[in-house]
Structure 1
Amino acid sequence: MNIAIYIRVSTDEQVQGFSIDVQKERLSAFCTSQGWDDPKLYIDDGYTGTNMNRPALKRLIRHIEESKIDTVIVYKLDRLGRKQKDVLHLLEDVFDKNNVAFKSATEPFDTGTSLGKAMIGILAVFAQLERDMIIERTTSGRRQRTGKGMWYGGRLAFGYEWNKDAQMLEVKPEEAHIVREIFKKYLNGESRLSIAEWAAKRTKSRKFDHSIIREILSRVLYTGKLINAGEVVEGNHEPIIDIETWEAVQAETTRRKDGGSPVGEYLLTGLLVCGVCGGNIVHVKRITNRAGRQYVYELYACKKQHVRKKDRAGESCTLGYYRREKVEQFVIDEIRKLSVSSSRVKEVIDKKQSIEPDANIRTNLQSKLDSVVSGIENLYDAIQTGAVKASAISDRLSKLEEERESIQLQLDEIEVAPVYRDYKIVHKRMKEFNKAWPFLTEPEQKRMLRSVVTHVVLNKDEDHEVIWNAT
C-alpha cells in the first residue's frame, strides 16, 4: 500500500504546537501502529491553509492522479485546508475520484464509511468557521489600534522601523531621504522603472521594482496618517513627506497611463489641483463658430464640475473654467517674480523648511558605512589568519561590498548635490531658469518646470497659488 503523509504549517502556527517535527513524529507513529511502512512525506512549511497554492499539495495531487498513492494521512483535517470548499474539492474531486482513502490521525473518521464522509463535511464547516472568526478578531483588533493612531502591523514601510518599547513607527533617516527623492523624481516626470533603478543603487535593505515604487507612492502612511476601515485618520508616527506632495503624486498617478509619457501632453498636465474640492483638473477644448469663422478655446476645469453628473456619482464643484494659456502664463510669471526678488525667495524657503524634518542623514549613513567597512575588514582578517576559508564567506563579503557601495553612493550625492534651502542659491537658480526658458524645447520646459514646481492650485476668481519645490 502506498501511503502519503501530508503536513502543513503556517508561520503563525509554529508556536501553537503544529510544528513540522511534531506532526511528522505523530503521523509516523500512527502509520507504524497501522502496520504501514515507508510512507511518503509531502510537507508545506510556512504555507497558509486559506488557498490551495501550495507546492507539496500540488505534488501530492499530481501523484494521486498518476495512481501512485492509495491513502492520504493528515494530523488534523484543517491541515488539508481551512476553506470548506477546498476540503470538499480534495475529498470528492481528487481523493474519491481516484479511489484514494483519507484518514486523520487525531479525528475518528475516514472516507471509507458514509458516517466518516458526513463527519468530514461537518468538520470542514467548523474549520472554515474558525478561520472566519480569526479574520473577524484580527480585523476588530486592527481597527482598534488604528483608531488610536497606532500602526496596525504587517510589513514595515520602507523608511520606518518599529520601536517595540514605544509601540510606534520611527523614521529611519537614510531611508526617509530616499523616499523623499522618490516622490520628488516622480513629480519631476520620471517613470517608476527609472526611479526603481535609481533606488536599487542606493540601498540593499529592500529590493525595488516599478511595483514597489507604485506602492510607496500610494501609501498615505508617509504623511503621518493611517487607513482605518477606508477612512484616513491621524497616526502617532512622524511623517516623511507633507500631505500636499502626496496629493500631487496621487493626481499625477491618476493622469499617467502605463507606457505613456510621464510628463504629459500639456505644460501643466499633472501639476494642477482644484482649490475648491481638491479634485483633479482636466483639459477642456471648446469649439465655436461665429460669423463663418471657427474659434478654439482650451480651458482648465475641475473634473467634478465638467464631467457629466451621472459619471461623478452626485459630486459637484464650482471652480469654474480658466483659459489654459492664462494659467500657464501665470505660473511662468510667478517664476519670473522669484527670479527678480530674493526676499520673496527667502519667504518660500522659510515656509518650506518649517514643515520639513531636518534629519541627520549624513551622520547616520556615515555610521552605517563605518559598521559595514569594519565588518569587511574583520572578514578579511579572518581569512588572512586562516580562521576561515575565503570560499566559505565569499557570499557574505560580496553582500557587504554591495552595501558599502550603495551607502557610499548616497553619501557622495549628499556631498555634491546642491542644497536649495539657501535662498541665495534658489534665487540664482530661478534667474537661470528665467534666462533659459525661451530657448528650451517643449519637453525640456515641462521637465524644468517640474523641477521647481510641486503643483499649482487653481482657485476661484483666478487667485491661483504655486506650491514650490524649494529643496
Structure 2
Amino acid sequence: GYDVKPEGGALLLNEDEAQRVRAIFALYREYGSLIPVIEELDRRGWRMKQWVTRKGKLAGGKAFTKNRLYNLLTNVIYTGRVEHQGKIYPGEHPQIVDIETWNQVQQKLNAHGRRGRREYRNKYGAILKGILRCATCDAGMVHSYTRKGPRLYRYYVCVKAHQRGWSQCETKSVPAPDIEQAVVEQIRAVGRSPALLEEVLSQLEDRREKRSEALEREQRQLDRDLRSLTAEMSGLAPLAAGEDASTQVVSDRLADLHSKVGGIETRLAEIRARLSALDGDGLSREEVRSALSNFDCLWRQMTPREQERFVRTLVEQVRYNGTTGEVVVGFRSAGIRELCRSQGDGGE
C-alpha cells in the first residue's frame, strides 16, 4: 500500500496497492475467515508486495498464507497511525483503511481466536510431532484436534493446506491414530522381517556414508585453507618487525590470520570427532533384531510422553503420501545404536 520516499523515512501512497489492501479488508469482512480470502486472492493472482533492494535484487512477491494475511489485516499502519511500545499514535502518512472497517476486522479476528500464538505444547501425545512430512508437497504436517461432544478427534494436517487452503494439497490431512499406528507397526516389523531389517540397515549405512563423504570434503577444503593461511603468515612475520607505517597494517593482517587459523583448527577438531563417531555407527543385524524383538514389551510400559521421545529417538523423518497411502519411515542410526546399547545393558 505504500512506497518509501527515495530520500528515506516518509511513506508515500501507492494507489494501486492501496486499492488491493482495501479489497482484502472487504473480502475478510465478507468471508469472516482467512482461508476463503486466501483462496480468492490465489484466484485473482494477487501476491505480497514486491520491491527491488538497494543491491538491485527482487524481494517479496510471495503467495499469501494465513500468517501473512493475518499480519496484513492487523497492521495498524493502514489506518494512518503507527504503533510504538504498545501505544497507537497518529502518523504522517495517508490512511488506506477507515477506522470503522479496521475495528470490524479486528473484532472478527478476535472472535475466531486468531492471535498469532505459537503451537500449543504436545498435550495429547502426538508421537510424530515435528517429524511427519507431507510427501505430495514436501511440507511439514502439524498435529491438531477437534472435539465433538465428549470425543476428541486428533489428526495431522499438511502445513500448506492449513496455511493456503484445503485445495492446495492432495494429502490434506490424516487421522493421527492411523498414521501413528502405521509408524509403530513399521518399527515393530523391523525386528521380525529379515528383508525389512536389511533395508533399514542399508538405509542407515547409505546415510552414514553420505555424511562421512560430506565431512571429508569439508576437511580437505579446510586443510587447503589452513596451508594457505599458514604460508601467508610465514611471509608476513618478518615484515612485522619494522617501524614504518606499514608495520601496523601487517600486524593487523597477522592478527586476522591468527583468528581465522584458530577457527579452522576448531572446526577441524569437530570434524575429526564426528568422523570418529560415524566410524563407530556400524550396527550388526543381530544387534538390531534383538533390540527390537522386545519392542512390544517396552512400548506397553511407556507413558505417552515416553512413547513420543522413544519414536523421535529412533525415527528421523516420516513421509506420508495421502494419494497412495504410502508411509516411509527414515530411521536414525544413533537412536537404534542407543536402543541396542540399553537392551544389551538390560535396560533401566
Specify which structure has the bigger relative contact order, considering alpha-carbon pairs within 8 angstroms and separated by 6 or more residues: 2
Q: TM-score, structure 1 length as denominator?
A: 0.35
Higher Cα Rg, which structure: 1
> TM-score if structure 2 supplies the norm length?
0.44
